[in-house]
Structure 1
Amino acid sequence: MKTDNPYYEIDSSTVVNGPVALSKAVEHALHMFQRDMDKVFNKQKMKTDIKDEVSLIELHHDKQMCDEEAYIITVKEDGLRIIGSDDLGLIYGLLHISKTYLGIDPFWYWIDQRIKKRESVHIPLGEIRSPKRKVRFRGWFVNDEVCLIGWKEPYPPTKEVWHPVFEALLRSGGNMVIPGTDLPKEGIHFELASEMGLWITHHHAEPLGAEMFKRVYPDEQASYATNHLLYEQLWEEAIEKQKEKKVVWVLSFRGQGDTPFWTQDPTFDTPSKRGEMISRVIKKQLEMIQEHVDSPQCCVALYGEISELYRGGYIDLPQGVIKVWADNGYGKMVSRRNGNEDFRISSMPEGKEYGEQGIYYHVTFHDLQASNHLTMFPNEPTLIVQELEEVFATGGDDYLLVNSGNIRMHLYPLDIVSDMWNVGNVEVNEHLQRFVQRLYSSHHHEIAQLYKSYFQCSVPFGEHVDNRAGEQFYHHPARRIIGHWMQGKATQSIEALYWATGERSFDEQVCWFKERCQIGYRNWTVLNETSQVIFNELSHEDRTRFFDQFHIQVILHCSGNAGFIKLCEAYEFARKDEFPKAFVSASQAIWYYEEGVQALRQSEHGKWANFYKADWLTNVQWTIESLQSLRRYLRMHGDSPHFFNWYKEFMMPDSEKHIYLENTHRNPLSDDDLAKGLQEVFSM
């Protein structure tokens, strides 16, 4: 409506008028925007008829605009107009208004943001032009997403799970996604992501988004040399299904289960043979796509063995294909550790003179060693910024795919990366202050200091700056130690732990982990106590968010360190044949690890019910189950066969020991009750 004010006012009466034929993507964005308005103004309104007395936001396409995904917002006294070069331009224009003027946080859903109610908002008159994004293709790989999978009953996950993921990505300026890992193709994830305007891309183990060969042909040999027609049929089907969508096609050839293909076809026993086969397959895949798609966007994931073969000169890649390099899972642009081998070969892009370049980057990882899955990136945020700045400097700004995991626990590093792909640089301290102020209504300085301390507390396990432990460090190695010990192999070292301990005896390996965790426990205990103090001072709403986003992760680290220390002490007692004390230490380990499970349960309130139910990758519960087996094993050493001996020896009053009757005193104590009693006796 026309006014004399130097701004345009939108309120509950504002109508959004889109193009005559709305695309699905713009429809989704309009529904998001209308929902935002409803939250702010307590009223939802969407009309097709325009009246003079109603304020108006108009959407228009202008395909003559030079840049992809661009928008221009013109704000005049008589209306607001968003002109987009394409669907994403209109979507980003709407979301800019939502974030900047309606106050909707990009992660509103994931942080349970309470939306501030208003009568109206004022947008200054003038013109707003979209910024030029630093990275062309930028998005998330929703990988190792077991919490998202297990959160709700339906499988594969429904729109209820996926829509908030894709919405947060769009609000963060992303335009590309791999929606999940090896999910059933009949799921909604690919279709919904495409409908919402995102480019689709693929897992490097599922080139072209095709079905896994062995899933379709379980009785056939997974060999392209033998069964190339079957492989090509799968690729053809995938191309037909996606050819009308926006796709960044992944060209690749790996074996079944994300392994080198020669593990299933050992005739390829030299780098030359392997590189020639990969080159031939990639060329064939590209030719097949070009038969159906004009000027397709394609990339090759230079990950693992493919990177090594390419660096060695064994792979010949077609022109015009984006080369996608990868970090090592801990944020450093070097080759990934493979078991105990850590060659740390640079995986920085090779420069624009060699064609378009990009990267696959982890802020969450799963390697069954020391990675972070339930907790934040364990290294300093400055590492992320420094590595990405160097990536951009070496030409890697065509493609940035981030392993986003289950989203909820990784918001802070994901927000840093979104600033990097949008702007190209981040001042870490300023960003942290803004991030904390978005989430909390008070104690901003104190909470920011806690976040800084978090990354300083992570356990160092090697000589390199990125060798810092996520929460899996307290679980996968611990379970290896338990199994090795109970199998009677304590005279042998665990070769699978050499990546951490180096070559040393089993006893020395146990001691090494104990010493590492003692360092970690001291630091995490201080942070846990300080975090608890701040937690108690926050408002109820902030307290819940602070627990879900930060304090739960500190508890997982603190309790994990403590539990692992007690496991190591149990082994030390057992080596001295002090089995009652070993039994108590193993029980104490269980109780510490249970604090982590209790924290997960506490965070499953409201819509988050069962969010951590499918903790299958770190799997805190199975660390507890393993310890319970160990505890029973230890009880067999002296308390068996009657499971009364330790009670009688250590806990029964002397006045009773010589006069008790078997029929009144032979009800064995539970493991927990016996451990608590012995703990008191031994002052442990």
Structure 2
Amino acid sequence: MNSPAKKPTPGTFVIDGKTSISVAPGEDEPTHLAANFLTQDIEAITGKKPKIPTALPEASQRSIFIVSADNPKARETLNSLQVDTSEIAGKWEAYLFHTARNALVICGSDALATMRGVYGLCRTALGVDPLYRWTGLRPARRKKISLEGINRTVDSPTFKFRGWFLNAGHLIHWNMGHGPEVDLRRKYGAKGAQYGISGSFGREMGEMILEAALRSDMNMIIPLSYLDLDDPDEKAVADLCREFGIFLSHHHQEPLGANLRVWDTFWKSRGEPVPEMSFYKNPEKFKAWWRHYAQLWAKYPRVVYVIGHRGPGDRPFWLKDDFCPDTGEARGKVISEAMEMQLGLLKEVCRDRPIHYTATLWQEGSPLHASGALRFPPGTMVVMADQGSKQLMREDFYQNPRHKELTYGVYYHVCYGPGGPLWAQGNSPDRMWYALTQVIKKGDTALALLNVGNIRPYFPGLAAWSHLTTHHQDFEPEAFLGNWCREKFGCEHAEEIVECYNAFFASFITPYYPMYDGHRGLWDGVLNNESWRMLQLINTGDLPAAYRRIGRPFPDAEVFVRFHKNKTAAVLGAWDALCKKAHAISRKLSGPARNLFEDNMVVQCEIVRALYYITHFIARAGLALLSGETKEAIEHLTQARSRAEAGAKYCVKSGNRGVFKGWFTMHRAFGMDYLRLLDLVCEKLAGKAPESEEDHKYLQRTLALPRRE
């Protein structure tokens, strides 16, 4: 005789094919979108798509009810379900899960918190990987989902604003979802087109990014390096962010969303002469310019504005302003007055709406602020950055005083362009934990912004960031990576996978430049940059003379090149062994877990190994040229090309599966077309002219030396 079915205990909720999902009347569209994602998750797990009735469900029907505590249209229903909202009322992004009769209530303190609660249920209760569209991992199928002990309250997160910055997202912009076909070189300038520093992406890629951010418990995003709302392509990206309900922000060189790269275009399009780019001389022109962008951004309901004043190319404004007096006091006063003007404009266009605004202490800002010359308006969230090339906080973070009328936050990097990790991860979760722990000890929890670059290389870092910025107190640095590996790859091989990740992170940490402190490493971005620098020298044929123009911190070209030859030689064997180990582990895995390990570890090992060998052989070529051995130099460059080709082939073969077809290309696997470039340099050393004018211009453009002597 069959025993009677066990009845759910209090605080237990069962989701099956009969469960429906209801969103209370009066909730906003982003909350409805989150409910749709919840529906998709349940269908992916159970095979049954929950119904979404237009009216509230009857008491006899099992349902998930999504509602905000401050929604006046739902007050009666909340009372009938005996939902006590006192613990979350008025709290930033606090939410609760509550079971009553046949309902599971997801209730946030307001619409933003309710949306967070829906994504939180997907992540913590259903076990859906926040990055599932990137990792390929989905929870196991089962007929029903039993949520034991689901009743709980989730308090406000550790950091108020938590976001991603897709700065220099090279591969996303180059190889996936470009959106409208545009001439990036004409639109952003030669450097912007070459390095993929901006450029809008298509809707599908945008949805992948935004869904992943919200599921990862982020509430803010800077989706592009440059985001100009006068540009239809870039505005489309901002509009998509609004649909998802995430806070929008912009690069710290774009106060109120205005970037000086379009200064000339702005005035010419209005039939006016282009004024001097000087706030000191033309404050009213800047005011008109900033007002225009403030009005555009004010149309978006959730914005974290940037205030400040920097010059073109994210450099100090006075490099392009010949009118401001050459003193720290005068420069600080200019920036302070600019911020006061910008805040006044925000109050003008936002009227009674809350205004959130930040200013980043970056390079010149720190000494000016420390001296008292730079003053921030009350209420500013002052953001301090880590040293991206070593992922630890800068000295100014420890030295700058905190002021009661201001709040503080952090800008952190898992991607750091040519000075750090770029194509492959380099920052271990425990290092991130150490840095953020220092930030939290200072009380700087208003904002936490992460430079995520291309997103795809940094899965452990993104998971750690999500945990640290929302529930820092629960983060266990020694256990995190092991838990993450067991969750993604299963328990059987988790221990050796953790060893592989730890070996990968440790292999970068080596004292780099002589004056550095031992924390910076030869990251892949650094290897790429230094290889390019050495090729610049080799291309001239006169390394000593050329070296004086590239500004590296070594006495001469011979020391510079030999340093890189010796540093890379010391670890080539370790990278060979690590690649061998990663391939061996991959063969033990299967299905999505194997694909993920190949993407996030094997491919990255191959990228970094290739770059170490490329750098090594280019350095040997430089030493050969310094000794007058041109033939030997060509042989070393040919070996570098062979390594570049082998690494690129593996990336194209193993890193382009599924939605990531086209992510890597043979000529742009490492951000620079080594195959073409090394061929052309070898031909030049052999006395052969480029076969085409296009090749000649490419070589000149790519390896051009700085103008300074």
Alignment TM class, shorter chain as reference: 0.7 to 0.9
Mapped contact 2:93–2:156 kept (Cα < 8 A)? no
- What residue is the counterpart of 2:431 in the other structure? 383
Following the alignment from structure 1 to structure 2, what is the Cα–Cα distance between the partners of residues 458 and 597? 21
Mapped contact 2:538–2:625 kept (Cα < 8 A)? no
Code of the residue aligned with 2:528 in structure 1: it is H
Please give the secondary structure, in 2, of the residue aligned with 1:224.
Answer: coil
Following the alignment from structure 1 to structure 2, what is the Cα–Cα distance between the partners of residues 614 and 146? 15
Following the alignment from structure 2 to structure 1, what is the Cα–Cα distance between the partners of residues 26 and 677? 59
**Is it true that 1:630 corresponds to 2:681 in the alignment?**
yes
Following the alignment from structure 2 to structure 1, what is the Cα–Cα distance between the partners of residues 627 and 38? 67
Mapped contact 1:4–1:77 kept (Cα < 8 A)? no
Mapped contact 1:73–1:128 kept (Cα < 8 A)? yes
Deviations along 1:79-114, whole A, 9 cap, x unmatched?
A: 211121111221222222212332211111110113
Code of the residue aligned with 1:223 in structure 2: it is S
CA shift in 2, pair 1:579/1:321, >3 Å: closer
- What residue is the counterpart of 2:183 in the other structure? none
Code of the residue aligned with 1:435 in structure 2: it is W
**Range with bigger deviation, 58-67 or 107-116:** 58-67
Following the alignment from structure 1 to structure 2, what is the Cα–Cα distance between the partners of residues 394 and 403? 21
- What residue is the counterpart of 2:616 in the other structure? 565
- What residue is the counterpart of 2:32 in the other structure? 27
CA shift in 2, pair 1:349/1:422, >3 Å: farther
Code of the residue aligned with 1:384 in structure 2: it is M
Mapped contact 1:252–1:281 kept (Cα < 8 A)? yes
Deviation at 1:494, TM superposition (A): 2.2
Following the alignment from structure 2 to structure 1, what is the Cα–Cα distance between the partners of residues 100 and 19? 14
**Is it true that 1:487 corresponds to 2:487 in the alignment?**
no
Deviation at 1:615, TM superposition (A): 8.8
Q: 1:130 aligns with which of 136, 144, 154?
A: 154
**Is it true that 1:266 corresponds to 2:322 in the alignment?**
yes
Please give the secondary structure, in 1, of the residue aligned with 2:544.
Answer: coil
Mapped contact 2:530–2:615 kept (Cα < 8 A)? no
CA shift in 2, pair 1:304/1:617, >3 Å: farther
Deviation at 1:13, TM superposition (A): 2.4
- What residue is the counterpart of 2:53 in the other structure? 47
**Is it true that 1:301 corresponds to 2:360 in the alignment?**
yes
**Is it true that 1:478 corresponds to 2:481 in the alignment?**
no
**Is it true that 1:405 corresponds to 2:453 in the alignment?**
yes
Deviation at 1:577, TM superposition (A): 4.4
**Count of equivalent residues:** 623
Following the alignment from structure 1 to structure 2, what is the Cα–Cα distance between the partners of residues 526 and 592? 16
**Is it true that 1:152 corresponds to 2:177 in the alignment?**
yes
- What residue is the counterpart of 1:238 in the other structure? 293
Q: 1:205 aligns with which of 223, 232, 253?
A: 253
Code of the residue aligned with 1:61 in structure 2: it is S
CA shift in 2, pair 1:410/1:352, >3 Å: farther
Following the alignment from structure 2 to structure 1, what is the Cα–Cα distance between the partners of residues 281 and 517? 44
- What residue is the counterpart of 1:289 in the other structure? 346
- What residue is the counterpart of 2:221 in the other structure? 177
Deviation at 1:51, TM superposition (A): 5.0
Code of the residue aligned with 1:474 in structure 2: it is L
- What residue is the counterpart of 1:61 in the other structure? 68
Q: 2:483 aligns with which of 434, 439, 442?
A: 434
**Is it true that 1:222 corresponds to 2:277 in the alignment?**
yes
Code of the residue aligned with 2:446 in structure 1: it is D
- What residue is the counterpart of 1:341 in the other structure? none
CA shift in 2, pair 1:349/1:17, >3 Å: farther
Code of the residue aligned with 1:430 in structure 2: it is A
Deviations along 1:585-614, whole A, 9 cap, x unmatched?
A: 211100111233223313111211122459
Following the alignment from structure 2 to structure 1, what is the Cα–Cα distance between the partners of residues 277 and 131? 42
Deviation at 1:211, TM superposition (A): 4.7
Code of the residue aligned with 1:73 in structure 2: it is F
Deviation at 1:576, TM superposition (A): 4.3
Please give the secondary structure, in 1, of the residue aligned with 2:145.
Answer: strand
Code of the residue aligned with 2:204 in structure 1: it is E
**Range with bigger deviation, 184-193 or 272-281:** 184-193
**Range with bigger deviation, 528-537 or 611-620:** 611-620
CA shift in 2, pair 1:307/1:127, >3 Å: same
Q: How does 1:331-346 map to 2 (within 5 A)?
A: 331-335=390-394, 345-346=396-397
Following the alignment from structure 2 to structure 1, what is the Cα–Cα distance between the partners of residues 462 and 169? 15
Identity %: 22
Mapped contact 1:493–1:505 kept (Cα < 8 A)? no
Mapped contact 1:69–1:84 kept (Cα < 8 A)? yes
Following the alignment from structure 1 to structure 2, what is the Cα–Cα distance between the partners of residues 272 and 556? 47
Please give the secondary structure, in 1, of the residue aligned with 2:105.
Answer: strand
Deviations along 1:140-193, whole A, 9 cap, x unmatched?
A: 112112222221241421321112212222122111111211145323222222
Q: How does 1:668-679 map to 2 (within 5 A)?
A: none
Deviations along 1:471-530, whole A, 9 cap, x unmatched?
A: 12222221221222221322336246665xx33221221111101111232221221111
- What residue is the counterpart of 1:5 in the other structure? 8
Mapped contact 1:59–1:81 kept (Cα < 8 A)? yes
Mapped contact 2:250–2:305 kept (Cα < 8 A)? yes
Mapped contact 2:613–2:643 kept (Cα < 8 A)? yes
Following the alignment from structure 2 to structure 1, what is the Cα–Cα distance between the partners of residues 620 and 556? 16
Deviations along 1:10-65, whole A, 9 cap, x unmatched?
A: 11221111111331110210111111112112232322253566421112221271
**Range with bigger deviation, 227-236 or 606-615:** 606-615
Mapped contact 1:142–1:179 kept (Cα < 8 A)? yes
Deviation at 1:625, TM superposition (A): 2.5
Deviation at 1:233, TM superposition (A): 2.2
Q: 1:189 aligns with which of 216, 222, 237?
A: 237
Deviation at 1:227, TM superposition (A): 3.4
- What residue is the counterpart of 2:641 in the other structure? 590
CA shift in 2, pair 1:100/1:320, >3 Å: closer
Code of the residue aligned with 1:241 in structure 2: it is L
Deviations along 1:537-566, whole A, 9 cap, x unmatched?
A: 211432221111111111111111112211
Deviation at 1:380, TM superposition (A): 4.1
Following the alignment from structure 2 to structure 1, what is the Cα–Cα distance between the partners of residues 115 and 549? 49
Deviation at 1:115, TM superposition (A): 3.3
Following the alignment from structure 2 to structure 1, what is the Cα–Cα distance between the partners of residues 397 and 120? 38
- What residue is the counterpart of 1:249 in the other structure? 305
CA shift in 2, pair 1:60/1:289, >3 Å: same
TM-score (norm 2): 0.83
Deviation at 1:617, TM superposition (A): 11
Mapped contact 2:228–2:259 kept (Cα < 8 A)? no
Following the alignment from structure 2 to structure 1, what is the Cα–Cα distance between the partners of residues 411 and 91? 25
Deviation at 1:206, TM superposition (A): 0.8
CA shift in 2, pair 1:527/1:352, >3 Å: farther
CA shift in 2, pair 1:399/1:314, >3 Å: same
- What residue is the counterpart of 1:672 in the other structure? none
Mapped contact 1:349–1:358 kept (Cα < 8 A)? no
Following the alignment from structure 2 to structure 1, what is the Cα–Cα distance between the partners of residues 542 and 676? 20
Following the alignment from structure 2 to structure 1, what is the Cα–Cα distance between the partners of residues 59 and 672? 61
CA shift in 2, pair 1:28/1:20, >3 Å: same
**Range with bigger deviation, 104-113 or 454-463:** 454-463
Please give the secondary structure, in 2, of the residue aligned with 1:585.
Answer: helix
**Is it true that 1:38 corresponds to 2:43 in the alignment?**
yes
- What residue is the counterpart of 1:606 in the other structure? 658
Deviation at 1:354, TM superposition (A): 5.9
Mapped contact 2:648–2:669 kept (Cα < 8 A)? no
**Is it true that 1:161 corresponds to 2:220 in the alignment?**
no
Following the alignment from structure 1 to structure 2, what is the Cα–Cα distance between the partners of residues 126 and 174? 22
Following the alignment from structure 2 to structure 1, what is the Cα–Cα distance between the partners of residues 259 and 526? 33
Deviation at 1:574, TM superposition (A): 3.8
* Structure 1: gaps (5+ residues): 336-343, 642-684
Q: How does 1:494-513 map to 2 (within 5 A)?
A: 494-495=547-548, 499=552, 502-513=553-564
Deviation at 1:345, TM superposition (A): 4.5
Mapped contact 1:371–1:471 kept (Cα < 8 A)? yes
Following the alignment from structure 1 to structure 2, what is the Cα–Cα distance between the partners of residues 71 and 290? 30
- What residue is the counterpart of 1:543 in the other structure? 594
**Is it true that 1:396 corresponds to 2:447 in the alignment?**
no
